[in-house]
Structure 1
Amino acid sequence: MQSLLPVFYLSILLALLSVAAVAIFRQIFKTRKVENALTRLQNKLKNEKGNAQEYYELASIYLDKKLYSQSIPVFQRAVKAAEEETEENVALIYNGLGFAYFAQEQFDLAIRNYKEALKRDPGYVTAMNNLGHAYEKKKLTSQALQTYDEALKIEPNNSISKRRAESLRRRLVPSS
């Protein structure tokens, strides 16, 4: 029995190391894929004009890397390209642009872009949630609550809208 104990511990250690190795390799491949896409898009868009999708993809990579100020001009080029191409998913681009401004605490510009996204796609719940959050940061509680309620009309089970609306209601109505 005692001779099995070291084997058992080594087996557990080996299993843990295997799981860690798999996780590390997955992360390496994921990072490598993103870096390859970044390099490919940067090189392509430096040398020639791209389409809205390519600009959007590059700007989204910048957002993921928290390079917000670099993402803004790329999102703006994506908007311009989308309008030239009569792209239908312009709301996604405006939402991304709003997020880049929001991350830099430029809430008025974020709000303007979220509203533009909603003008292009009135049922875009993610943009509504982002707009509500920007209103909250600007201390515009009633507008934030109204925006979350509109999102809940479209998507009643949206957990973000539910949670934020409930939180705002608790703040507005003091408990007795």
Structure 2
Amino acid sequence: MPGWGTPGRWGVGLSSAAGISVSQPSDEDERRCRNFLHKFSALPCCTMAWLSTSQPAESSVGAKINAVYEVGELFELGIQLSYLLILLGLLGAGSFFVVRQVLVRRELDLSAKELQEQVRSGDASATEYFELGAVMLRRKFYPAAIKYLQQAIQKWDRDEQDLAQVSYSPVYNALGVSYKRDNKLDKAIQQFEKAVELQPGYVTAWNNLGDAYELKKDLKNALKAFEEVLLFDPNNKVARPRRDDLRQRVGMYKGVPVKTEKR
């Protein structure tokens, strides 16, 4: 019986009989196989190279994002600090104003107490009555201010021209302000008229007179008073805008007769 691996009697082996062709690989096949293995082995290297190059790019993007966040946080912190500084400034200004008001009030109270003691003793002069009236005016005790200012006028032993120059503000002007603050406009106007009669160049009294006339809705006389101010002080910041406004309101653009012209 022929062997399994040797040709039989018909010169055909078992493999041939089974229909399977067995042959040796050619050089071309070996070359293709080597190229395939080489490409497959190179794939992980390419992948690692791509990953290694993508990591710095991602790091750069992350750094930029972090920088943007840091800038945003610094900007927000700056805004918060600005608000805090503004708040502290407002609190400081408010505290200063309150403290100043308290100190002024305390000073006025002490002055009023001292002057009232002199008045009660009967030794007060006209000047001290005037000072006490001025203190009461600043404290907004208008009836008391009117009382002491009237007593100052009664006790003044000089002529009225000197009376208009008493202390830092004329007594008639102070009395007129007290009446005006107490809503007694007619009496206020009388006092302001007296003040400017004694001292024609007294622009403060003229301004007060114009304001009192305007409050009384007497626009023409108010305009005359402010025109008078500008004769003595052409750049007066109180009278000029008031004069211009009143000119429009009463329909006068060429000026009005003023009391100085009559004198």
State the TM-score bracket (shorter-chain normalisation): 0.7 to 0.9
Counterpart of 2:32 in structure 1 is: none
* Equivalent of 1:100 in 168, 178, 193: 178
Matched, 1:64 2:122: no
Change over 3 Å in CA distance of 1:108–1:134 after alignment to 2: same
Counterpart of 2:48 in structure 1 is: none
- Work out whether residues 125 and 155 of structure 2, in 8 Å CA contact, stay in contact via their aligned partners in 1: yes
| Residues 20-51 of structure 1: CA deviation (Å, up to 9, x unaligned) | 66555444333222111011011111112322
Change over 3 Å in CA distance of 1:26–1:144 after alignment to 2: closer
* Equivalent of 2:188 in 103, 110, 134: 110
More helix by percentage: 1
| Residues 90-121 of structure 1: CA deviation (Å, up to 9, x unaligned) | 26100111111111221111111111111111
* Equivalent of 1:172 in 237, 250, 256: 250
**Which structure 1 segments of 5+ residues have no match?**
none
**Which structure 2 segments of 5+ residues have no match?**
1-72, 253-263
- Work out whether residues 79 and 90 of structure 1, in 8 Å CA contact, stay in contact via their aligned partners in 2: no
Instruction: Return the alpha-carbon distance in structure 2 between the equivalents of residues 23 and 143 of structure 1.
Output: 38
- Work out whether residues 145 and 168 of structure 1, in 8 Å CA contact, stay in contact via their aligned partners in 2: yes
Larger radius of gyration: 2
Matched, 1:152 2:230: yes
Quote the RMSD (CA, aligned, Å): 2.9
Percent identity at matched positions?
A: 33
Instruction: Return the alpha-carbon distance in structure 1 between the equivalents of residues 246 and 181 of structure 2.
Output: 21
Task: Kindly indicate whether structure 1 or structure 2 has the higher relative contact order, using CA contacts under 8 Å at least 6 residues apart.
Answer: 1
After TM superposition, give the deviation of residue 149 of structure 1 in Å: 0.4
Change over 3 Å in CA distance of 1:153–1:28 after alignment to 2: same
SS in 2 for 1:139: coil
Counterpart of 1:135 in structure 2 is: 213
Residue type of the partner of 2:207? Answer: N
Change over 3 Å in CA distance of 1:139–1:36 after alignment to 2: same
After TM superposition, give the deviation of residue 81 of structure 1 in Å: 2.2
Change over 3 Å in CA distance of 1:12–1:59 after alignment to 2: same
Residue type of the partner of 1:170? Answer: Q
Instruction: Return the alpha-carbon distance in structure 1 between the equivalents of residues 204 and 225 of structure 2.
Output: 11
Residue type of the partner of 2:180? Answer: F
Residue type of the partner of 1:94? Answer: Y
Change over 3 Å in CA distance of 1:162–1:19 after alignment to 2: closer
Instruction: Return the alpha-carbon distance in structure 2 between the equivalents of residues 18 and 131 of structure 1.
Output: 38
| Residues 108-146 of structure 1: CA deviation (Å, up to 9, x unaligned) | 111111111111111100110111111112222111111
Change over 3 Å in CA distance of 1:86–1:167 after alignment to 2: same
**TM-score of the pair, normalised by structure 2:** 0.57
- Work out whether residues 108 and 139 of structure 2, in 8 Å CA contact, stay in contact via their aligned partners in 1: no
| Residues 45-84 of structure 1: CA deviation (Å, up to 9, x unaligned) | 11123222211111111111211111111000111222x1
How many residue pairs get aligned? The number is 172
**TM-score of the pair, normalised by structure 1:** 0.82
